[in-house]
Amino acid sequence: MKLRITLGAVAILILAYICDDISLRYHIPKSRQPLGTVTVEQYDAIPEKNGKVEFDFENPVAETCVRSLVPHLGYPPCWYLSRHAERRINY
């Protein structure tokens, strides 16, 4: 019984991924653009000898994303990237 439920859940996840990929590649619906951009603010966190951290802010960067549920074509989904629009780079 547990195996059947697990296999069913995996099959649903695979089907959702395939449908999401087909929707992205074939522009379904036609009115939706498959790719978008989100402005990401980046800053460097540089540790100092006295234990403090210096922050060096960089210019905002427009990053490409896909309008889908999961990452495709090497791009993150726009809904995720818009919620994580700040990127801290630790040195």
Query: By 3-state DSSP, what share of the chain in percent is helix, strand and coil, each rounded to 5?
Result: 35, 35, 30
C-alpha 79/C-alpha 3 separation (Å) is 33
Range of the domain at 33: 2-90
Looking at per-residue confidence, does 76 or 27 come out higher?
A: 76
How many domains would you assign to the chain? 1
pLDDT tens profile 12-60: 999 999 999 999 999 888 888 999 999 999 999 999 999 899 999 999 9
What pLDDT does residue 91 have? 86
